[in-house]
């Protein structure tokens, strides 16, 4: 169906049946676009971040701590169940079948918290993941810590998640794989993803604030995350215009939004900056010991 060739500022593209237009220019869109914050940060040994979910829907991933070797965050599954997820990719992939990866190239599991589910995954590269039932709530501050160190040609990654109700950190899992050339944590990013992809999900809004982010290096200690580049996926089946990002109202972080009636105000590839924080990195962060 034809769509209007000219859109007013802030107006969303719809077809004649008022369905959200996809990137391909044909309606309806199957899914909301994935939106990302690519952090301006050095390669580091520690990555701390917080995410506050403001809007969610079934089939949503709010990923707080991502790097070139994996990611760590919270999800609302297609049935509404809520979990925490920590994943690390194999050092050498073999397509999308985890069973095709040679044993020496697979992620090793050094530790997994009791009550978590651990499994190898495929379909988007291959690797090892750890899942835990985690009934997070809208408006709740979810805290994540990722630590890494390299020795003997291998890098170890330990993920910790904070239980706000019991005011306690939990060590979710520790994985190890062959080290990259840079080692440690690099290419840091966060994102929101719609993985339900059932057409209805494109009409549902997802929004979260990523705040109080810090990285630690051996050379320079703790440094705040003050800048990020706004990017998005570009599949032809995704909603085209319903994305946005910016500095949060508090000034302590950055928000991402996608789907539903979201209206884009920040251009893709823009670098978003916030003021330097007045405080320091949290003092209660757990160690690997």
User: Residue 10's closest CA among 279, 262, 274, 224?
Assistant: 262
| Domain at 187, CATH number | 2.60.120
Enclosing H/E stretch for 86:
strand 82-89
Residue 150 lies inside a defined structural domain of this protein: yes
Residue 198 lies inside a defined structural domain of this protein: yes
The pLDDT tens digits of the residues spanning 145-159 come to 999 999 999 999 999
Q: How many CB atoms lie within 10 A of CB 274?
A: 20
Residue 26 lies inside a defined structural domain of this protein: no
pTM for the complete prediction?
A: 0.91
* Burial (Cβ within 10 Å: 0-12, 13-18, ≥19) of residue 217: middle
The pLDDT tens digits of the residues spanning 5-42 come to 223 333 344 443 445 666 666 568 999 999 999 999 99
Residue 197's domain spans which residues? 35-273
Residue 42 lies inside a defined structural domain of this protein: yes
Residue 56 lies inside a defined structural domain of this protein: yes
Residue 12 lies inside a defined structural domain of this protein: no
Residue 279 lies inside a defined structural domain of this protein: no
Structurally, the chain folds into a number of domains equal to: 1
Rounded alpha-carbon distances, angstroms, from residue 173 to 76, 108, 116: 20, 11, 9
């Amino acid at each position: 169906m034809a769509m209007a060739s000219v859109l007013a500022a802030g107006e969303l593209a719809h077809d004649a049946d008022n369905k959200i237009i996809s990137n391909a220019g044909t309606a309806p869109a199957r899914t909301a676009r994935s939106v990302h914050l690519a952090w301006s940060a050095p390669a580091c040994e520690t990555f701390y971040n917080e995410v506050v979910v403001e809007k969610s829907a079934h089939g949503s991933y709010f990923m707080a701590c991502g790097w070139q070797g994996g990611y760590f965050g919270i999800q609302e599954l297609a049935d509404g169940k809520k979990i925490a997820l920590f994943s690390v990719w194999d050092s050498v992939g073999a397509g999308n079948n985890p069973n095709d990866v040679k044993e020496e190239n697979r992620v090793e599991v050094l530790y997994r918290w009791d009550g978590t589910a651990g499994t190898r995954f495929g379909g988007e590269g291959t690797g090892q993941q750890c899942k835990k039932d985690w009934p997070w709530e809208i408006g709740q501050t979810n805290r994540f810590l990722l630590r890494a160190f390299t020795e003997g040609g291998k890098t170890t990654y330990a993920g910790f998640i904070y239980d706000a109700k019991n005011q306690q950190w939990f060590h979710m899992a520790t994985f190890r794989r062959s080290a990259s050339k840079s080692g440690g944590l690099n290419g840091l990013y966060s994102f929101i993803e719609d993985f339900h992809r059932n057409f209805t999900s494109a009409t549902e809004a997802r929004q979260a604030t990523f705040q109080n982010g810090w990285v630690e290096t051996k050379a320079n200690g703790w440094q705040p995350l003050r800048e990020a580049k706004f990017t998005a996926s570009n599949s032809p089946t995704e909603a085209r215009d319903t994305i946005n990002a910016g500095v949060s109202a508090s000034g302590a972080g950055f928000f991402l939004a996608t789907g539903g009636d979201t209206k884009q105000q920040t251009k893709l590839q823009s670098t978003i900056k916030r003021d330097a924080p007045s405080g320091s990195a949290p003092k209660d962060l757990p160690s690997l010991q």
